[in-house]
């Protein structure tokens, strides 16, 4: 078993986390998120083709259309099963981008060609509802975590776990703002996955802490937490690496549609592994020291 003294470096870890979280919050306030079609609205094309169409070819053709800086290649393309019908959802505003929309329809008719094309605007009201539902799902997950961990462990464990999860989500959002990555429904799913991953890693260590406290009743909480982290370290590293490998592959080959999803997971796995050691456990240690005043 490794014998790293993690808690002795907790002040450095907490300081680093505070700096990065503060910077992420400032970025969110100043620049804001780059919300995708799911949240901002746009134009949806429904196309009936004569023959099967390769999605990759369709995406390349969309990317070749001059669109005033709008990434049409990153549009959401959905195939309707057992038909030649395809739905393309673009960030184009039906009123502001009339010329570009006409270019898209012309390309679809001449290049593939399409038998029938219909379009509709995705309104702002629907988009606002999706924003509220997306962030509401994350908030509900955090409340559920707080209640469940409080029931299974104690409130101090739950606060440590939720603090780590909030830390991970804020930093991931900060990275998205910094590089202006698109936030869409798939990204919200990635954030919920990050919450689950971070919580799982933290709970493994907390469970070991609880077991060691029951066995080593004379040991200080400082030593018990350090020993528990070291006992779980190999498992934590192996889990993180085996999770990162397929996610990195997804980032490389997944294309523009899945890129934001993959980035969110990559950042979430890395930061989640860090926070389970340097955020959740220091919070548990500080609370226990204040509440129980054990010997160090």
* DSSP E strand boundaries for 39-167: 42-49, 76-79, 85-90, 114-122
List the CATH code of the domain at 42-122: 3.30.70.260
Domain boundaries, the chain: 7-36+126-292, 42-122
CATH superfamily of 7-36+126-292: Multidrug efflux transporter AcrB transmembrane domain (1.20.1640.10)
Q: Rounded distance, CA 94 to CA 40, Å?
A: 13
The tokens describing 83, both together, are: 């038909």
pLDDT of residue 241: 93
CB 33 within 8 A of CB 177: yes
Q: Rounded distance, CA 255 to CA 114, Å?
A: 24
Query: DSSP 3-state assignment of 183?
Result: strand
Q: Rounded distance, CA 162 to CA 58, Å?
A: 43
pLDDT of residue 178: 94
Q: Rounded distance, CA 76 to CA 89, Å?
A: 5
Q: Are strands 85-90 and 76-79 parallel, antiparallel or unpaired?
A: antiparallel
Q: What are phi and psi of 212, to 5 degrees?
A: -70, -35
Q: Rounded distance, CA 284 to CA 291, Å?
A: 10
Q: Rounded distance, CA 75 to CA 59, Å?
A: 8
pLDDT of residue 76: 83
CB 91 within 8 A of CB 184: no
pLDDT in tens, the chain (296 residues): 557 889 999 999 999 999 999 999 999 999 988 887 777 778 889 999 888 888 889 999 999 999 888 888 888 888 888 788 999 988 888 888 989 999 999 999 888 888 899 998 876 555 567 667 777 888 888 888 888 888 888 889 999 999 999 999 999 999 999 998 888 878 888 888 888 888 888 999 999 999 999 898 888 999 999 999 999 999 899 999 999 999 999 999 877 778 889 999 999 999 999 999 999 999 999 998 888 664 44
Q: Rounded distance, CA 170 to CA 25, Å?
A: 7
């Amino acid at each position: 078993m490794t014998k790293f003294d993690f808690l002795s470096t907790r002040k450095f870890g907490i300081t680093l986390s505070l700096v990065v979280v503060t910077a992420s919050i400032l970025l969110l306030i100043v620049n804001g998120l780059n919300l995708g079609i799911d949240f901002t609205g746009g134009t949806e094309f429904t196309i009936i083709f004569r023959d099967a169409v390769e999605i990759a070819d369709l995406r390349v053709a969309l990317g070749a259309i001059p669109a005033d800086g709008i990434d049409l290649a990153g549009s959401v393309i959905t195939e309707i099963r057992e038909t030649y019908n395809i739905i393309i959802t673009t960030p184009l505003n039906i009123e502001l981008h009339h010329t570009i929309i006409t270019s898209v329809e012309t390309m679809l008719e001449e290049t593939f060609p399409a038998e029938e094309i219909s379009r509709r605007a995705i309104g702002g009201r629907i988009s606002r509802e999706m924003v509220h539902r997306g962030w509401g799902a994350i908030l509900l997950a955090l409340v559920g975590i707080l209640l469940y961990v409080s029931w299974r462990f104690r409130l101090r464990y739950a606060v440590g776990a939720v603090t780590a999860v909030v830390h991970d989500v804020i930093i991931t959002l900060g990275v998205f703002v910094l590089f202006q990555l698109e936030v869409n429904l798939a990204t919200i799913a990635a954030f919920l996955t990050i919450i689950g991953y971070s919580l799982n890693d933290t709970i493994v260590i907390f469970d070991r802490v609880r077991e060691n406290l029951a066995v080593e009743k004379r040991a200080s909480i400082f030593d018990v937490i350090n020993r528990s982290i070291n006992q779980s370290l190999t498992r934590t590293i192996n889990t993180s690496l085996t999770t990162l490998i397929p996610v990195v592959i997804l980032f490389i080959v997944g294309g523009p549609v899945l890129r934001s999803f993959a980035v969110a997971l990559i950042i979430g796995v890395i930061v989640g592994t860090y926070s389970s050691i340097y955020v959740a456990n220091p919070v548990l240690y500080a609370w226990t020291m204040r509440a129980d005043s054990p010997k160090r």
